[in-house]
Amino acid sequence: MNQIPALACVFAYLSILTIGGGMSAFPELKILTVEVHKWLTFSQLIHLYSVGQMAPGPNMMMIVGIGQWAGGLLGAFVVLVAFFGPTALLAFIVARG
Amino acid sequence: MSDAALTPPVEALPVAPVAAQVSIGQIFLEFLIIGATSFGGVVPYLRGSLVTKRHWVDDKEFVEMLSISQSLPGLNATNMAILVGEKLRDAMGSIAAIIGICLPGAVLMYIVGIFYRMHGDHIWITAALKGVAAAAVGLILSTVVSMSKKSLSGKVDFIFVALTVIAVNRLHVGVPRTLVAVGLLAVLFHRPRKQQKENGTQ
């Protein structure tokens, strides 16, 4: 039932794969969320991704939907922080340096 | 006299006394607006807002920040938010900017997630989603084409592309391992021989 630690690990790992854009993480996103953890089916992932493309803002916001399904409001929040935190910290360090 | 040389107080900023003091609230609000209106790619909206409208960064800085954003892992949108936020108000500016740019899309996708979970099997929604998925494939394809134009320099590069696809999609090698292996091959192949090739990482 408690998927929160798994969500945090998966999305923190995906975070560092997003070199050259969010799409780079997509193959691993599919393997980890669909095949390994079975949080959703592949066609659900495609649907979320497609709808996410039409939403404004950073284009990987569909991950919030995955977090919500797997772990409710806390899941959504954890996914956001795990996915954007590491790269944000790295960018901040670069900006300072 | 001793440590004054170490701290350049105002590093060569030809413009923008405007950028001297922007409030955290202003930063948050501006990025919130960008986050809520930037359909189909954030970069033009960032430029319109930060360069043209607010003059928080000038055009040259914007291009520099964008190329830093692109060479770092992470999405352009969030990296730009961090870089611009840091420039304006240090850590608090970065935090305000990234929360602002993420909030609208995140709330929207949270609601979409719940709605889809409840009504995703409805016949009309299934039909609509099929159409949307087709459009998304088109969008990804157009990204692929524009990226190829920018980064593929010869026929040999297509071999690296094919190798990556085969390794990840057919042989199910993990993405990091594939990237390291194919990346090394590509680096070896593209090592500077006759003409110097410049590389803009770091």
Instruction: Identify the band that residue B2 occupies on the pLDDT scale cut at 50, 70 and 90.
Output: very low
Task: Pull the structure tokens for residue B79.
Answer: 């990296």
Task: Note the pLDDT of residue A5.
Answer: 96
Q: Tell me whether 0.85 is exceeded by the ipTM.
A: yes
Domain boundaries, chain B: 12-117, 142-191
- Domain hosting residue A72, numbered range: 4-96
Write down the pTM of the prediction: 0.80
Phi, psi of B181 (to 5 degrees): -65, -55
Q: Which among A21, A68, A96 has CB closest to B75?
A: A21
* pLDDT (tens digit per residue) in B65-119: 999 998 899 999 999 999 999 999 999 999 999 999 999 999 999 999 999 888 8
Asked if A7 and A82 count as a contact pair (C-beta separation under 8 A), the reply is yes
Q: What is the pLDDT of residues B143-198, one digit of tens each?
A: 788 778 877 878 888 888 899 889 888 888 877 788 888 888 888 888 887 654 45
CA separation, residue B171 to residues A30, A40, A47, B88 (Å): 15, 23, 25, 47
pLDDT band at A21 (very low <50, low <70, confident <90, very high): confident
Phi-psi label, residue B11: left if phi above 0, alpha if psi -120 to 50, beta otherwise: beta
B82 to chain A, any CB pair closer than 8 A? The answer is yes
- Confirm or reject contact between B141 and chain A (CB < 8 A): no
- B-contacting residues of A 25-64, CB under 8 Å? 25, 27-28, 31, 44, 46-64
Burial B97-110 (b: 16+ CB within 10 A, else e): bbbbbbbbbbbbbb
- Counting the structural domains of chain A, the total is 1
Contact B75, B2 (CB under 8 A): no
Q: Find the closest chain B residue to A61 by CA distance.
A: B106
Q: C-alpha angle B40/B70/A92, rounded to 5°?
A: 105
In the prediction, which pLDDT does B152 show?
Answer: 80
